[in-house]
Amino acid sequence: MQTLIDAAALHRRMTSGQRTVILDVRWALGDPRGREHYLAGHLPDAVYVDLETELAAPAEPLRGRHPLPDAQALQESARRWGINAGDTVVVYDDAGGMSAARLWWLLRDGGLEEVLLLDGGLRAWTDAGYPTERGLEQAALGNVVLGAGAMPALGREEAGRFPADGVLLDARAAERYRGDVEPVDPRPGHIPGAVSAPTAANLSGSGRFLSAADLAARFRDLGADGTRPVAVYCGSGVTAAHEIAALEIAGIRAALYPGSFSEWSNHPDLPVATGSEP
């Protein structure tokens, strides 16, 4: 399945009248003003999606900071965003897809196939000279039916066992992996056996994904060459979805550990490793 769409292709879809649901997922750790950013300027007809309240269940220490939302709740949200059965959905943000990938993964997990990340996000759109709009967009109620489980996922115990036979990638910044700093979770470090694979390295300087060949080479160097199963975690299961998208572009199917380190580190009986080695 296609993972990305570039700004020019999206613009052609929109101007040719092809039905496209566009969703804006402006969010960043430590920046609660995503809605304000959206109101100040967004793609034409884009509907705002709130990551904290619509793409996650309420935080629980033992389940992590962003547990997956209930499938019924996600379906109700998707209908509010205007998604109908069979629609093509394009999701974007202003951070290289780091937050939009969460929605990409959830909709794919719910059974939608035509879900695309806008490569380069808002920056790529405006750099191309395409227009933006201000204010709030309201969508007509959709009729989409979503399930759950179409994308592979791991629980906490499975994640702990995974490095024995597979490649477990830690998508956080290297300093958090090593345990040098930990700004939000109760213990620093990483899941023993996990390999450091910061999500930011999936992108070029322009905020767009590297080519499929470059991504495949990157993951091959990390041990994810397609010969063993691959899984990904991050702090709370958000940016790990970006890594899963990058792996998909490279031709590698990967599972998500949704609870990620925010869940793992809240269980004092579970081991945590520090330093640069798995």
Percent of the chain with pLDDT over 70: 100
Percent of the chain with pLDDT over 90: 96
Q: Is 72 a catalytic residue?
A: no
**pLDDT grade for 31, boundaries at 50, 70 and 90:** confident
Q: Which homologous superfamily does the CATH classification assign to the domain defined by 156-264? A: Rhodanese-like domain (3.40.250.10)
The backbone torsions φ and ψ at residue 89, rounded to the nearest 5 degrees and listed phi first, read: -115, 130
Write down the pLDDT at residue 92: 98
Q: Which homologous superfamily does the CATH classification assign to the domain defined by 4-127? A: Rhodanese-like domain (3.40.250.10)
Q: pTM score, two decimals?
A: 0.96
Q: From the candidates 78, 168, 197, 234, which is the catalytic residue?
A: 234
Let me know if the fold of 4-127 is the same as that of 156-264. Answer: yes
For the stretch 204-209, contacts whose Cβ atoms lie closer than 8 Å and that sit 24 or more positions apart, written own/partner, are 206/120, 206/123, 206/124, 207/95, 207/96, 207/120, 207/121, 207/123, 207/124, 208/96, 208/119, 208/120, 208/124, 209/4, 209/97, 209/119, 209/245, 209/246, 209/249
Write down the pLDDT at residue 16: 96
**pLDDT grade for 32, boundaries at 50, 70 and 90:** confident
Is the model's pLDDT at 29 over the cut of 80? no
- For the segment 243-272, the average pLDDT, to the nearest whole number, is 97
Is the model's pLDDT at 1 over the cut of 90? no
Write down the pLDDT at residue 28: 84
CA 174 remoteness from chain centre? 18
Domain residue spans of the chain: 4-127, 156-264
Distance CA 113, CA 111 (A): 6
Is the model's pLDDT at 189 over the cut of 90? yes
Which tens digits make up the pLDDT trace of 7-20? 999 999 999 999 99
